[in-house]
Amino acid sequence: MITSRENALIKKIVKLHTAAGRKKSGQYFTEGIRSVGQALEAGADIAEAVYCAKVYQLPAGRQLMDRIAWAGIKAVEVSESLYRSITDTENPQPVMAVIDMKDYRLDDILPTNGFFAVIVDGIQDPGNLGTIIRTAHAAGVHAVVLLKGTVDPYNPKTVRGTMGSIFSVPVVQESDTRRLFARLRETGVKLIAASPESRTPYWDINYRGKIAIIIGNEANGISDQVKEHSELSTVLPMPGRAESLNAAVACGILLYKALEQRLT
């Protein structure tokens, strides 16, 4: 059992709390019995599971540890006090998994027919991004593409916000916006940007065929560079007096309007 913060694995997990640490190691972590179980079910590349003895006091925890053993995944016990010091939640469940990131590229996720994706342009709130990834998964998108300036998808708050969808939905991080849109156009993908400046309500858009819905920054919307490349823009009318609509909520409305058309 590990009891020291000087242990190499513990030092690594502490670094995984930072974007720089995650980028350097190519790993991230998820916490909790349900989340680790979802990672197992989705076939995520779990490098090791870390737990404290309390996990065996919970029936679901015992079952999970059995599944981890059957899968041949390394499981490392740490003291309860040490475990609490390396988690990201106030009331942590007694197990976490360190997971290798999957390095998806655009060409990995471009199917020949019916491409359906979300492009995220500068979302800063981890919870918003987590909800977008979760909603995209529910709506059956092929991928979520993150443009430069978007919050790290492997931030612990984002991972929690996805409720397990991060393990199943391909997430592509793309720094070259111009190249991305050129490649999408080559393959016949229609780019639809959500913009308060548009005069076309979202229900008047044709979402069939190959499409990518673009969701912009919470405060500033989509960037000027992205506006240049978007073929269509649409607005979610707000007849009420709200100043704005949450980016994740807007994304959900557009995705399900698209899904309605694509299923009928």
Share of the chain above pLDDT 90, in %: 83
Task: Kindly state whether residue 52 falls inside one of the protein's structural domains.
Answer: yes
Task: Kindly state whether residue 24 falls inside one of the protein's structural domains.
Answer: yes
Could you tell me if 82 and 111 lie in one domain? Answer: no
Q: Specify the pLDDT at position 219.
A: 86
Please enumerate in sequence order all residues whose Cβ is within 8 A of that of 28, keeping only pairs 6 or more positions apart, or say none: 16, 22, 98, 99, 101, 154, 156, 159
Q: Please determine, for residue 112, whether its predicted confidence score (pLDDT) is greater than 70.
A: no
Among 70, 100, 130, which residue terminates a domain? 100
Q: Specify the pLDDT at position 244.
A: 85
Average pLDDT over residues 1-18: 96
Residue 48 is given by DSSP the state E
Q: Specify the pLDDT at position 227.
A: 87
Task: Kindly state whether residue 2 falls inside one of the protein's structural domains.
Answer: no
Q: Specify the pLDDT at position 260.
A: 97
Look at the chain and report how many structural domains it folds into: 2
Q: Please determine, for residue 113, whether its predicted confidence score (pLDDT) is greater than 80.
A: no
Q: Which of 1-10, 107-116, 174-183 has the highest mean pLDDT?
A: 1-10
Among 43, 72, 100, which residue terminates a domain? 100
Average pLDDT over the chain, rounded to an integer: 94
215-251 confidence digits (pLDDT tens): 999 888 999 889 888 889 999 999 998 888 999 999 9
Q: Please determine, for residue 38, whether its predicted confidence score (pLDDT) is greater than 80.
A: yes
Contact call for residues 153 and 174 (beta carbons, < 8 A):
no
Could you tell me if 110 and 94 lie in one domain? Answer: no
Average pLDDT over residues 146-156: 96
> Where in the sequence is the domain holding 203, given as residue range(s)?
106-263
Could you tell me if 94 and 157 lie in one domain? Answer: no
Q: Please determine, for residue 31, whether its predicted confidence score (pLDDT) is greater than 80.
A: yes
CA distance 79 to 202: 53
| Angle, vertex CA 72, rays to CA 57 and CA 54, nearest 5 | 15
Could you tell me if 33 and 81 lie in one domain? Answer: yes
Task: Kindly state whether residue 53 falls inside one of the protein's structural domains.
Answer: yes
pTM given for the model = 0.95
Could you tell me if 77 and 148 lie in one domain? Answer: no
Instruction: For residue 81, give the CATH number of its domain.
Output: 3.30.1330.30
Instruction: For residue 199, give the CATH number of its domain.
Output: 3.40.1280.10
Q: Please determine, for residue 20, whether its predicted confidence score (pLDDT) is greater than 80.
A: yes
Q: Specify the pLDDT at position 107.
A: 84
Could you tell me if 231 and 256 lie in one domain? Answer: yes
| Angle, vertex CA 181, rays to CA 178 and CA 187, nearest 5 | 140
Could you tell me if 96 and 122 lie in one domain? Answer: no
Task: Kindly state whether residue 1 falls inside one of the protein's structural domains.
Answer: no
Could you tell me if 88 and 126 lie in one domain? Answer: no
Q: Specify the pLDDT at position 90.
A: 83
Task: Kindly state whether residue 50 falls inside one of the protein's structural domains.
Answer: yes
Could you tell me if 145 and 216 lie in one domain? Answer: yes
Could you tell me if 33 and 133 lie in one domain? Answer: no
Q: Specify the pLDDT at position 110.
A: 82
Q: Specify the pLDDT at position 35.
A: 97
Could you tell me if 81 and 188 lie in one domain? Answer: no
Task: Kindly state whether residue 49 falls inside one of the protein's structural domains.
Answer: yes
- In the block, tokens 């690594």 appear at 12
Could you tell me if 177 and 136 lie in one domain? Answer: yes
Task: Kindly state whether residue 3 falls inside one of the protein's structural domains.
Answer: no
Average pLDDT over residues 34-56: 97
Among 41, 66, 100, which residue terminates a domain? 100
